[in-house]
């Protein structure tokens, strides 16, 4: 009789132990999914920020070229020349090229 009670308690402990193992496995899987989602988010944000920086540089150069064309027209209306410098977003560009195809470098 005592052996039977001990066996029943052992069986009950084994079943509870299996449930704890399953809960632990589920928690680990959940943490891994969250970690993977955070990793993907960091990669996407990094890529978006690098693309935005590249676009800003190109936009600044295009804006500088447009300012060079405007300055060439205002300087001498009869024969405009793309010359001088212009500053956009704290960067100074040198105007060059022939009007109306002024460039900024």
Report the percentage of the chain scoring pLDDT > 70. 69
Q: What is the pLDDT of residue 18?
A: 61
Rounded mean pLDDT of 24-37?
A: 91
Token pair, residue 17, equals 């132990």
Residues in the chain, how many? Answer: 105
Q: What is the pLDDT of residue 20?
A: 62
Spatial CB neighbours of 94, under 8 Å, sequence gap ≥ 6: 84, 85, 104, 105
| CA 21 to mean position of chain CA atoms | 39
Q: What is the pLDDT of residue 41?
A: 95
- Residue extents of the structural domains in the chain: 2-104
Residue 101 three-state SS: strand
Quick check: 22 pLDDT over 90? no
Interatomic CA distance for residues 14 and 5, integer angstroms? 14
Task: Give tens-digit pLDDT for 12-21.
Answer: 555 555 666 6
What H or E segment, with its residue span, contains residue 30? helix 2-75
Q: What is the pLDDT of residue 8?
A: 56
Q: What is the pLDDT of residue 51?
A: 77
- Choice between 79 and 42, residue whose per-residue pLDDT is larger: 42
Q: What is the pLDDT of residue 30?
A: 92
Residue among 73, 89, 91, 92 nearest 81 (CA)? 73
- Choice between 23 and 64, residue whose per-residue pLDDT is larger: 64
Q: Evaluate whether 99 touches 83 at the Cβ level (below 8 Å).
A: no
């Amino acid at each position: 009789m005592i052996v039977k009670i001990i066996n029943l308690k052992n069986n009950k402990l084994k079943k509870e132990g299996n449930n704890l193992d399953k809960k632990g496995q589920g928690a680990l899987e959940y943490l891994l999914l969250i970690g993977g989602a955070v990793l993907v988010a960091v990669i996407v944000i990094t890529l978006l920020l690098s693309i935005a920086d590249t676009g800003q540089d190109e936009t600044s150069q295009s804006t500088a070229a447009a300012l060079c064309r405007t300055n060439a027209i205002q300087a001498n209306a009869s024969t405009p020349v793309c010359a001088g410098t212009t500053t956009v977003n704290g960067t100074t560009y040198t105007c060059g090229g022939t009007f109306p195809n002024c460039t900024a470098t």
